[in-house]
Structure 1
Amino acid sequence: MAQQVMEVKNEHNINLAFMECFTSCVLTYLNIQGKDYRKILLDYWNLSYQFKTLLSGKDARQLPLEYFYGLKMTFIKGNEELLRRHIRSGHSAICLCQASKLEFFPHSYLGMEESGFQHSILLYGWDEQQERYLVTDPVVNAVVTLSPDEFVYASAIRLGRNEMHYFVLEESAVPFSEPNLESCLVYCTEQILTLYRRQRMSKSDPIVPEGSSDEMKVRAWQHWFNNRHDGIRALEHFEEDILNSSEWTVRRRNDWIVINTKTISSIRRLRTLVWNTYRDIADLGEAHEEEGQRQIEAILSTWNTVNFLLLKYKSGQDSQAAIPSILQRIQELKRIELQFLEWLHLAVREGAQ
C-alpha cells in the first residue's frame, strides 16, 4: 500500500545555480523533509572539469548525506516498473533524463545536452488515482506530474528500451547519530581542502552498475578518467585547453568559451553561497568574518576577470595577449582559493577548541 505523500509546493524548490540540477534536487528533497539543507553547502566548495566544462559541484558519491542526515543514496540501473515500486513504497528518486524531452521544460533553458550532460528531476510520490508520478524540477521551479510513458520517453537510456538510471533516497540501515556543529565544520573544511589540493584523498570511483561486463567497466573507467578532474587539477586541464584552443576552429573555440563563461558565473555564485553559509552557521567572530569576506571578494573578482578575458579572447581583440593574461589569472586563482580554504580550516578549528 502506498504511503501518504507530503504536499510539495514551489517554495520547497532550491535552485543552486546553472548546471547544478542534481544537487538542487538533493537540497530540494532535504527541504521537503524538513532537514537543514545548508549543511550540504558547508561541503560544497569544489571545482571539476568535465566534457571541457568548468563546474563547481560534486558528484553523487561525494555528497555527505549519510554523515549529515543518516540518508543513503543508491544508484539504480533499472526500469519504470522497478522505479514505480520504489516510489510507491515511500521513497524519493533523483532521475537522470533529457530536459529537451520534458514538455514542461522551457526551451530557453536548453543547451547543454549536446555537450554530454544529463538533466535531473526529483520524483517524490505517486498519484494513485491519476497513475502519474509526482515530480518537481527545482531548476525551472516546476511542480508537475508525469505519466509513466512521459517519464520513460524523457529518461530511457536508449530508444525502445525501458532502461533508466536513477538514485533512490532512503534512510540508512546504519544507526544514525547526528554530528554536532563543531564536528561538521571541521569535517567539511578538511574535506574541501583535501579534495581541492589533491592530497590524501583519491577521486571517487565511477558509477558502474552491478553485473556490468568487464568491457562496460573498462569503458566506464576510461570515460571517468577522460572527463573528471577535481580541484587544482581541473584548472590545470582548463589551462591546457586554453593553450590548445588557438588551434581549434573559431566555432569550436567560441562555443567552448560561451559555455565556460556561463559555468564560471555559477562558480562565483556558489563560492558566495558556501561562504555565506559558514558566516550564518559557524560562530567565526567579527575579525574572522571580515578576513573571510576580504578573501572571498578577491576570489570573486579574479573569477570575474577570467570571464572578462575569455570574452575578450572570443571577440578576437588582441587574442595573442589574452591567452597569457588568462593563464596568469588562473595561477592567481589556484593560489588564493587554496589560501582561503587553508585559512577557513584553521579558523573553524580555532572556533571548535
Structure 2
Amino acid sequence: MISDTQQPILVNLSAMMCAESCILTSLNYRGLDYRYFMLECWSLLYESSLILAGKNITRYDLDAVYGIQTLEVNGGIARLIEAVGNLKISIVSTLSSKLDFFPDYQITFESEGFKHQLVVVDYDHHLDAFHVLDPIANYSGKIKSADLLRASTEETGFRFLELEFPQNPKVIPVCEIFSRATMININRMGINAESVKAMRLDVRSLAMWDERKRNQWLEQNNLTIATIIKARQMVWNCYVELNVLPECNYPLLNESFHRIIGEWTSINFFLLKYKHQQQSGAKHAHTIDSKLEHVFLAEKSFIELLYALGQTAG
C-alpha cells in the first residue's frame, strides 16, 4: 500500500499528451529513467481538426528499453484490481469531467471526443479505493472504485493499458537508446508530413467557414500548438541532459531546435492575429500556411541530423 505521505513525482508533458504523461509518470514512479522514453516523443498528428504532438498510447514499445510488457484490457473492477500493485501499473481511460479532483478550467477538448488517462498504482481493500496519479491535474490520491467507474469511458467496466514491470530492469547503453529513438522519430516523419499537409488544407479553407467554426479552430489550435512547444522543449532538454549529442554538433542542433520553436511560436501569433483581424484573414492564412511548411522542413532537417548522429552512436 502507498502511504498518503509519499508524493510520487508526476511528469506532465503537456495537457494534450496525457497518455505520454501517464507513461512518464509510471516510469518515474517505478524509479526508471523516463528521459529514455522522452527521446522518442517527437511526433505530430492532425486529428479532429487539431494539430497534436502525441500518438496512440498502445503504439509505444516499452519492452525494448525497459522490459515492460503491455496488455490492452477491457474489464471490470475485479480485473483492474488484478492489474495494479506489485509489479503492475495500469493506465485507465476516463472522462476528466467526471473526476471530482480534475480542475474545470483544464477540461478543454472532451467535447471533441478526446479521452483522459490517469495512472492506477494500487488498491486499498479496506477503503475500496484505488490510488491514482494524474499528472495533468497534478493529483496523487485515492478515489473510490465506484467513483472511478463513474468516470470510465466505457458503459460497463474499464478500458486500460496494463503495464507489467520486470523483476530486474533492463540495462542498455544510453547510446543504443539514443540510436533507437532517432530511428523511431525519423520513421514517423511520413505521418508528421501528412498531418501538416492536412492542417494546411484547413488553413486554406478557413475563409469559407462560418465565423464561429473558424474562431473555434483558431483558438483550439492555438492551445494545442502551445502544448507542442512545451513538449518539444522537454524532449530537447532530455537529449541535452543525457549527454548523447556530440559536442561538435551541439551548436548546430541547438540553433536548429530554437528555429523550430520560433516557427511554432510565430504560427501561434498569426493564429491570434487571424482571430482578431479577420478582415485580413486571407493574408494571415497565407502566412500560416507558409510557416507550417517552414516548420515541417525545419523539423525534418533536425530529425534527420539526429538520426545520422544516432546511427553513428549505435
> What TM-score, normalized to structure 2?
0.93
Determine if contact 2:69/2:165 at 8 Å carries over to the other structure.
Answer: yes
Task: Map Cα deviations across residues 136-191 of structure 1 (whole Å, 9 max, x no partner).
Answer: 11111111211111011100523xxx232111110369x97533222111111111
Q: Which residue of 2 aligns with 1:217?
A: none
The corresponding residue for 2:304 is 342
- Aligned CA distance change for structure 1 residues 235 and 149 (closer, same or farther; 3 Å): same
Query: Shift of residue 91 of structure 1?
Result: 2.1
- In 2, the alpha carbon distance for the partners of 1:9 and 1:26 equals 19
User: Where do 5+ consecutive residues of structure 2 fail to align?
Assistant: none
Specify the alignment match of 1:194 in structure 2.
Answer: 187
Aligned mate of 2:247, from 286, 289, 297: 286
Q: Tell me if structure 1 keeps the 8 A contact 2:22–2:135.
A: yes
Root mean square deviation of aligned Cα: 2.0
> Aligned partners of 2:232, 2:85: CA distance in 1, in Å?
38
CA shift digits 1:29-66 (9 cap, x unpaired):
11110000000111111111111111112322332311
Residue matched to 1:153: 150
Where does 1:48-67 land on structure 2 (aligned, <5 Å)? 48-67=45-64
Query: Is 1:284–1:351's contact at 8 Å kept on the other side of the alignment?
Result: no
Return the alpha-carbon distance in structure 2 between the equivalents of residues 156 and 344 of structure 1.
38
Q: Report if the CA contact (8 A) 1:97-1:155 is conserved.
A: yes
| C-alpha spacing 1:250/1:10, structure 2 compared with 1 (3 Å) | farther
Stretch moving more, 43-52 or 60-69: 60-69
Q: 2:281 aligns with which of 319, 332, 338?
A: 319
2:138 to 127, 137, 141: 141
Match of 2:162 among 159, 165, 168: 168
Corresponding residue number in structure 1 for 2:20: 23
How many residue pairs get aligned? The number is 313
Note the residue ranges of structure 1 that are not aligned, 5 or more in a row: 199-229
One-letter identity of the residue aligned with 1:127: D
Q: Distance in 2 between matches of 1:79 and 1:71?
A: 23
AA paired with 1:66?
Answer: D
Deviation at 1:298, TM superposition (A): 0.7
Asked if 1 retains the 8 angstrom alpha-carbon contact of 2:90 and 2:121, the reply is yes
Amino acid at match of 2:171: E
Say which of 73, 79, 83 aligns to 2:70.
Answer: 73
CA contact (8 A) 2:58 2:161 kept: no
SS at structure 2 position matched to 1:31: helix
TM-score, L = length of structure 1? 0.84
| Gap change, CA 1:113 and 1:195, over 3 Å in 2 | same
**Which residue pairs with 2:39 in the alignment?**
42
